[in-house]
Every structure is written in structure tokens, then in C-alpha cells.
Structure 1
Amino acid sequence: MRLLTVSVLLATTALAGCAATSASGPASSKIEAQAALKIEPVKTNGGKTAGLDYALIDINSAVLNYLGDTTSTTIAGSFGGGKGGIPSLPLGVGDVIQVSVFESQAGGLFIPADAGSRPGNYITLPQQSIDREGNITVPYAGKIRASGRFIDEVQKEIEERLANRAIEPQIMISRLTIRSAQVAVLGDVNNAAKIQISEGGSRILDVISEAGGLSAPNVESYVTLTRRGRSARISYNHLIATPAENIYVAPNDTIIVERERRTYMAFGASGANGRFEFEDADLKLADALGKAGGLLDSRADPAQVYIYRTVSRELLVKLGANVSKFQGEAVPVVFRANLRDPSTFFVASKFPMQHGDIIYVTNSTATELYKFLDLVGSVPSTAADVSANARSTRLNIKNF
């Protein structure tokens, strides 16, 4: 009977302890125990968990020399045309043209002898569109191939076909409407549309302007030019600042303007944790820390401010690093800023932030010590409660 009583009391004590440390969900041990399959990280020979290797780089003035330009692609370099002349536009299907035939004197094929008073020895044929087969029709000359050819080529062929019928014929072709030389402008513009290319030449910014301009902030806008299966993408601000990138567009080009909200995240002992928008065209590390509330005096270690970022393999090579341990062109890098060093503040004011960066501010050693002391301070009260429970249990057994 006494054994039964002790068992009940011990069970009651255990349940009381469970109530004191209740949780909002299952314990990690129970989750692991009930899993049908458990996949754990593979460990290397040195006992290190195999994961993503990264490089640690201390921020200094030498590093800044390789971080200023974040432009990875160039439109002019991909397609050319930044400094070239105005591209010629050949005739194409759907273009509306008008053909005028001049003869040296009346009495010819088109100008009758009794023409009377007229402004000149010529006749203007009705307007016509280049048909689906790419042809136009001229009386007495028949069907003429026009699509894909330049105006002077078509004029010359018509003159040759009429040479034996008309009196020294001269042909003039006027293109009234260009429908074959258009550019599609899509995305974050105010009036997405197909824009007709001017015969005087249209550049990227020209057609974006004709589409109503941007509907998103300049700093968050990126322009992609697609031509014959190839694409290149740059920021809108870089396009404006670099005239060579503002190249002439070509027929059937597609220009897509996209808004990309540039954000970074801040964790650890910063004044505020979470995701923050750049809002500025050229956000620096010092500005980013300020937007995140700076460093907490009571917790942060100013010497251990980290920026997590993926950089190109080429950057590490320029810094003289051994990149043999890394595979691929993208390398995970952790930049470290020691803000206990006064000169690092100047570097932080020039260190450019990039979209997707993660700032992590570590706790100071003293903060971790305080946490430990708080834990130690809570042990006596817990031990006293256990002793009291034990004495109460003994008294109940004796009384029984």
C-alpha cells in the first residue's frame, strides 16, 4: 500500500513539474521520436557539419575598390549600337506606302500628251500596304518584292521594269505608316504598347517615354532588352547615367520595365529586426544600420557586425583570395565590420549595400555572461522547490 502511495505522489509531482514548464507545441524530442524518417547533416572527417562554405572578409578601404560597381550586365556590350549611326529600316509587311511615277515629258505611259496644265509630269498611285507575301503592285510593272528591302532598292527595280514603256521613268516611294518596325514596351510603364520606330532612329529611352514613362520609382526599376532570343538587363538609373547604354532599338525588340523592390534584412543586436527597403538610390552600410535602429548599447558587440552576401568568384580573385575551395561562379561571403575602430565608420559610409543583403549584429561577450548569470540565479529557487516537494512527500508517507 505504501508503494502505491509513493507512486501516486511521484506521478503527481512529475505532472506538476510539467505544468510549470508547459509549452505551446510538442517538444523537439517528441518530434524526433515520432518521425518516420530522419535525415541528419553529414559530418566531415573533422567532425564539421557539411554545409555551405563561405569566405570571411574584413571591410577596409582596399575592399571598397572592388565593390563600387555592382552592374553585372550591359546592353551596349550585349547588342552594340551605342555609338553607331541611325539604323536603316527596311520595308516590311503591313507598312503603308505611296508610289509616285515621274516621266521626263508628257505623252508617255502615265502622262498623256494632252495633259494640259498640271504641276509636273508625274502621277501618284493610291496608297497601298505591303501584303502578307511582302509584295506591292505597280501598274505595268506587276508585283514587286518589297518586304525586307530598302526603299531605294525597290525604286530601282520598278524603274527597270518600266524603262521600256515610260519616258525616262523616275520612281519615288514614300513610307506613310510603319507597322513592321515596332517595339513592344511592357511592364511597369504607364501605357504599355507597341511603339513605332522613327525613321530618324529611336533609342531605348525614347520608346519608354512614348509608352508614358515609368510607373515605378527610378531607383527600383530595371530595363530588359530582348532581341532575337538574347537579353540584357540593367538598372534604369544606370541607363540614364550612361548614354552609351541608351542604344537604338531594332524592329521586333521587346523592352520590359520591371520594378524590383530592393530590400535588406537586419537581425541580432540591432535596434530593429526585420526587412527594410532601400528607398535611396545608393544605400550605404552606415545608412542601412541607421534605418535598422543602429546598435543596441546594452547588447551589441560593435566589433562584430556582419553582412551576408553572395558575390562573384571574380571579386575574390581580384582580392587575391584562394578560391580553389569554392565551386561555381557565385561564392557566399560574410563581410565583417569592426565598428570599434573609428576609421571603419568612414568605410561603412562608403560600403554599398545590395539587394538581399543580411546584416547580423552579434551580442557582446558581457551580454552572454549576463544571460548565464541569470540562469545560475534561477537555480536556487528551483532547487528549493524540489527540496520542499521532497519534504512534503516524506511527511505524507509518514502520516499514511
Structure 2
Amino acid sequence: MNLAKFLLLALFASTAALSGCTALPRSGPDDAAVEKQASVRVTTEGRKVGIDYILVDINKTILPSFQQPAATSIRDSFGGGRGGPPDVPLGIGDTVQVSIFEAQAGGLFIPTEAGSRPGNYITLPSQSIDRSGTLTVPYAGRIVAAGRPKEQVEREIEEKLSNRAIEPQVVITTVNGRSSEVAVLGDVAKAGKFEVTSAGERVLDLISEAGGISAPSIETYVTLQRRGKSGTISYDKLQTTPAENIYASPGDTILVNRERRTYTVYGAAGLNGRFDFEETKLTLGEALGKAGGLLDARADPGQVFLYRKVSRKTMQGLSIDTSRFVGEDIPVIFRANMRDPGSFFAVQQFAMQDKDIIYISNADSVEVVKFLNVLNSVTSNTSGAVTDAVDGRDAAKRIFRN
């Protein structure tokens, strides 16, 4: 007879003789009562969650792929800022002034009696490009301006006035470029809309115009939204990687957000709960240290697990078959064997990521001690109720079943 069967029989023998009305302590219904009295049960065989995952042991082979936090990029979404700044055409809502020069007085706009004066020109009243995208110039009519460079609109006005004005030349000045604004929002000192010019303003230039970031740089992320697409990058990487600091385009939205980086620890650790990265990069070894390390009396050092979703590309780079998984992010459980002295070097190189979960399993001996404590509690109470004996029997069955 093995030890498990012996202990189970000992429990049954001792609980069968119990009598009296004293009940074992309990704060509410047990799991068996909850399941029994449910009107409808939605479950799976073996109560399995049904989420497939990959189990990867942390070793020197995989470390190069996980020594740095996951990369983020806006260059990959919008291009690497090659070439000059983007064109800034006129647009609906822009306020412009149109100045018309003539070669001499006596033409269409400069009367003969005006005589000689510096610069024979007139400036028309400021006007906004209307919803149809046009502006109005006397004797030239309505001119389509929205979406066109100023130089092109100037040439068209000159052509339409050439048979009435004396060698006309036109200059358009943007008073207020509403269509060429970029919104900078979020954790900046002065959120608002800022105009981009033909000189070219990059993402960091516009964040600077908004007064800079108002949160720790290591916890700050910048998202660029443009025509239905978006890309995100950490502020630190944006500062140190010039290729990521791309030109902004009219109509862009720049979101600056602080993301509180945390990880969670469960199981046989000194402390359980949620922990902040704080203003630092963190490795698995440091994360375990912040949580008080492994409990000597409970933990199985060979079963330290880290739960994370990893990109399909990264897993394929390790020659791992990902064909049974759907989507780009794959659930992975990393396991560290802290019984191996070399693992202490490995966990100091394995980078933590935001929202990682660490679980430290109990040693097998702890489960045996738990059962013996239950057995001792039942057998020492000679006045326990028969109901408690039955509950103890069912609990023991579940222990050995699991």
C-alpha cells in the first residue's frame, strides 16, 4: 500500500468515529456546495482553460532574444524620415493674404494717378479657404487652392490676370495655417495644436513646442497617428535613435502617455502582489529580489515561472514551431531552474517587460505537509460533526485526485 492510500484510509478511519455538533471553521460554502447547487454549469473537461502556450526553459541559447525589452517603433509604420520635410500645401480653413504686383501704375489694380511708389502692389483682405477648397480673387474668379502648393496657386492667378493687369505677379502669404496643424496631447506641459511649416518639424520638435514631457522618460511612450495608422515608441528610444524622430505631417496627432510599468508575483515568494518597475530597467533576477526572493520553507527553486505574450517572429527566430497558434502574440511560459547555480547569471540578463506575471511553485513536500495538517486537525477534534468527517473525506479525495 502506498503512502497516499495509507493516509487517506487513516483519515477515513479517524473521521468515521467523530460525533457531536461542533463544526470545523469555515467562512462560507465550499467549492463542492457551490458546484452542486448551480442551476447551470459551463465548464470543460478537467476544468481546463483551453489556452495553448509554449513552455521555454531559460538557458543561454534563448538569452540573446530576451536581454532587451520588446522593441517599439514609429519608423516601421511611417518610414524612416529619409529625404526632406513633407510638402505643406494649402488646405481648407487656412487664412491667407493675396498680394498682386504690377509692373507699373495704370494697370488693373494700380491707378495712373498713383504715380511712382515703392512696389506697385495691393494686398487683398485676408480670407479663409472655404469648404469647397477655393479662394476668390477679383477679376480671376474662384481659384481651387486646397491641396495645392502656394506656388502653383500663385501661377494660376497670374495667368488669369495676365490679359488685364500689367505683368502681374502674385504672392500668397499664410496668415493662419489651420490645415497644417499637428495636435500634441497627453503627458506634456502644454497640450495643443502646433503648425508645421515647409522647414519641417520632427516629432521631438513638436513635443518640445508643447513644453516637453511631464512624466519620467523611461515610462513615457509616444504614439503617432496618421491617416488611420499608428506607431508607438518609448520616449527614451525616440531620443537616442535619430531615424525614429521622423517628420510630422499636417493632420498628425501625437499622443504622449505615461504607462506605469508593473509586474505581478504569485506563489511562494517573500511578497505577493503588484510591483512597479520604477524609473529603471528590470531583469528577472531583480524582480524576484524586489518580491523578497523565494521562501525557503515553501518554494520549489526548480519551478520559477514567468508568463508573457511573445511575438511570433521572436519565437520563430528560436526555431520554435508556432503553426498551431493564431495571431502575432503567442502565450509563453518561461521556466527558470534556480537549483542550477548558473541560473543566477541567466536571470540577471533576462529582461522583464510590462505586465509580466511571475509564479513560484510550492515544493512537493509542502503539499504533503498541508495534507498532514488537515489530517491532524480532524483527528484531534473528537467532538467534530459527522458532516465535517464527510467534508474531510471529500477534501482528501480532491488532494490525491489533483
Q: Same fold (TM over 0.5)?
A: yes
Superposition deviation, residue 50 in structure 1: 6.8
RMSD of aligned alpha carbons: 2.6
Note if 1:56 corresponds to 2:61: no
Aligned to 2:292: 293
CA contact (8 A) 2:105 2:115 kept: no
Within-5 A mapping of 1:319-398: 319-371=318-370, 374=373, 381-382=380-381
Q: After superposition, what is the alpha-carbon deviation per residue over 1:181-218, rounded to whole angstroms, capped at 9, x for unaligned?
A: 11222233333322222332122222222233333332
CA contact (8 A) 1:71 1:234 kept: no
In 2, Cα distance between equivalents of 1:124 and 1:305: 76
Superposition deviation, residue 124 in structure 1: 2.9
Within-5 A mapping of 1:189-268: 189-268=188-267
Superposition deviation, residue 93 in structure 1: 2.0
The one-letter code of the counterpart of 2:60 is S
Within-5 A mapping of 1:59-98: 59-71=58-70, 73-80=72-79, 82-98=81-97
In 2, Cα distance between equivalents of 1:211 and 1:353: 32
In 2, Cα distance between equivalents of 1:123 and 1:321: 73
Aligned to 1:16: 21
In 2, Cα distance between equivalents of 1:53 and 1:151: 58
| 1:49–1:98 Cα change, 3 Å | closer
Superposition deviation, residue 114 in structure 1: 3.9
CA contact (8 A) 2:223 2:231 kept: yes
Question: What are structure 2's unaligned runs of at least 5 residues?
Answer: 1-17, 386-402
Superposition deviation, residue 23 in structure 1: 1.0
CA contact (8 A) 2:22 2:383 kept: no
CA contact (8 A) 1:220 1:259 kept: yes
Aligned to 1:4: none
Superposition deviation, residue 382 in structure 1: 4.3
Classify the secondary structure of the residue corresponding to 2:114. Answer: coil
Aligned to 2:103: 104
Aligned to 1:272: 271
Aligned residues: 368
| 1:272–1:113 Cα change, 3 Å | same
Classify the secondary structure of the residue corresponding to 1:224. Answer: strand
Q: Greater relative contact order (Cα 8 A, min sep 6): structure 1 or 2?
A: 2
Q: After superposition, what is the alpha-carbon deviation per residue over 1:96-134, rounded to whole angstroms, capped at 9, x for unaligned?
A: 222222222333333333434522333333333223332
Which range moved further: 148-157 or 304-313? Answer: 304-313
Superposition deviation, residue 89 in structure 1: 0.7
| 1:171–1:380 Cα change, 3 Å | closer
CA contact (8 A) 1:56 1:335 kept: yes
Superposition deviation, residue 289 in structure 1: 0.9
Which range moved further: 207-216 or 144-153? Answer: 207-216
| 1:53–1:161 Cα change, 3 Å | closer
User: Percent identity, aligned pairs only?
Assistant: 55
In 1, Cα distance between equivalents of 2:125 and 2:180: 22
TM-score, length-normalised on structure 1?
Answer: 0.83
Computing the radius of gyration over CA atoms, which structure comes out larger, 1 or 2? 1
The one-letter code of the counterpart of 1:86 is P
Within-5 A mapping of 1:147-186: 147-186=146-185
